[in-house]
């Protein structure tokens, strides 16, 4: 149990499998200028958590505490923070990648990136949404500027990013095609997908054409094939490393656009996401919740790559 000056965090002292994760008690941070200290109630998990746990990724060598999603209550504010106050319920994403550390009882975060949690959703919902919704919003709205009636292909549409991307694309009035294994097609239809493709049985590049926008989270061959289903001027937004430099050359040759992006913490985008939630147009499907101390179990499940929707850590 943490004391008034300490907090429990999930930490790791070595890179490796879920077993390297451990609970530690550390000093509770004080919010610096323009920061808020958040008492974390729920924090989503994302593939970037297990990738960083195993490889160090952007963060290099441990020790470090992972986690970028946050929903919680403002405990204290740093100098200069006027928009938020202690007691406010907030949700948002820590700066990606350097601001990590939400898999903890408390986290200090840039006030600028956080918005009020919509009253109609609980902390588990709000903790599940930020990273995946910001990713989908920045891919579909900022980069691709999806328009009503456009044909949007979303790969891995049942996953964390995919299932919110479907809802955002539908909210923009798009015709949405999603890929998933057959067992997840009912889920895709509930989300609003107009056409579901079983990627295990059907080569999507032979089944769809004249697509305006593809959201790619698989990279490699899937990214290259995605370029070929676009109409002239269409765009593939990929959110995974390409590994294939010919992605951009192939795009140029075909007269289409290819973009690769990293999610970025942004308050204006969080406001747009909160508006969609308030309008009842965006909800996370919660695959499972785990108490903070069971983070290793959550990592192991997430790393299977088969979950539908989101995994979330809860903090009492």
Instruction: List contacts with ligand NAP (CB under 6 A).
Output: 46-48, 132, 135, 155-156, 158-162, 179-181, 184, 199, 217-218, 239-240, 261-263, 305-308
Q: Which is nearer to ligand NAP, 245 or 305 (CB)?
A: 305
Q: How far is the CB of 160 from ligand NAP (least distance, A)?
A: 3
Q: Minimum distance between the CB of residue 199 and ligand NAP, rounded to whole angstroms? A: 4
Backbone angles phi, psi at 95, to 5 degrees: -55, 130
C-alpha span between 256 and 227 (Å, rounded)? 7
By beta-carbon proximity to ligand NAP, the closer residue of 28 and 155 is 155
Q: How far is the CB of 137 from ligand NAP (least distance, A)?
A: 11
SS3 299: helix
Residue whose tokens read 């319920």: 89
Which is closer to ligand NAP, CB of 25 or CB of 195? 195
Q: Which CB, 37 or 158, lies closer to ligand NAP?
A: 158
Nearest distance in Å: CB 75, ligand NAP: 28
Residue 61 near residue 16, CB atoms below 8 Å: no
Q: Which is nearer to ligand NAP, 31 or 67 (CB)?
A: 67
In the bound complex, which residue of the shown chain has the CB atom lying closest to ligand NAP?
159
Residue closer to ligand NAP, measured from CB, 48 or 167: 48
Rounded to whole angstroms, the Cα distance separating 153 from 230 reads 10
Q: How far is the CB of 216 from ligand NAP (least distance, A)?
A: 9
Dihedral, CA atoms, 48, 49, 53, 57, nearest 10 degrees? Answer: 30
Smallest distance, Å, CB 96 to ligand NAP?
7
Minimum CB separation from ligand NAP for residue 130, in Å?
A: 11
Token pair of 71, please? 């929903």
Shorter beta-carbon distance to ligand NAP: residue 7 or 161: 161
């Amino acid at each position: 149990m943490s004391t008034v000056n300490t907090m429990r965090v999930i930490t790791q002292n070595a890179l490796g499998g879920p077993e390297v994760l451990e609970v530690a008690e550390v000093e509770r941070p004080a919010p610096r200028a323009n920061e808020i200290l958040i008492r974390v109630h729920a924090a989503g998990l994302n593939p970037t958590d297990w990738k960083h746990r195993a490889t160090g990724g952007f963060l290099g060598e441990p020790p470090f505490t992972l986690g970028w999603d946050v929903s919680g209550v403002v405990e204290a504010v740093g100098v200069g923070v006027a928009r938020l106050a202690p007691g406010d319920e907030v949700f948002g994403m820590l700066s990606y990648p350097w601001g990590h550390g939400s898999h903890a009882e408390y986290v200090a975060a840039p006030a600028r990136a956080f918005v009020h949690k919509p009253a109609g959703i609980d902390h588990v919902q709000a903790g599940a949404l930020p990273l995946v919704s910001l990713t989908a919003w920045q891919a579909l709205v900022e980069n691709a500027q999806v328009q009503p009636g456009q044909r949007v292909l979303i790969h891995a549409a049942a996953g964390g990013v995919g299932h919110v991307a479907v809802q955002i694309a539908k909210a923009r009035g798009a015709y949405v095609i999603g890929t998933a294994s057959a067992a997840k097609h009912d889920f895709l239809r509930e989300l609003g997908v107009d056409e579901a493709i079983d990627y295990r049985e059907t080569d999507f590049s032979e089944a769809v054409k004249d697509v305006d926008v593809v959201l790619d989270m698989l990279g490699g061959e899937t990214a290259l094939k995605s370029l070929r289903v676009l109409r002239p001027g269409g765009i593939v937004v990929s959110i995974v490393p390409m590994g294939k430099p010919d992605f951009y050359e192939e795009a140029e040759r075909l007269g289409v656009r290819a973009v690769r992006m990293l999610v970025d913490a942004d308050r204006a985008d969080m406001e747009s996401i909160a508006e969609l939630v308030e309008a009842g147009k965006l909800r996370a499907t919660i695959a499972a919740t785990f108490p903070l101390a069971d983070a290793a179990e959550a990592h192991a499940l997430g790393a299977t790559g088969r979950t539908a929707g989101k995994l979330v850590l809860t903090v009492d």
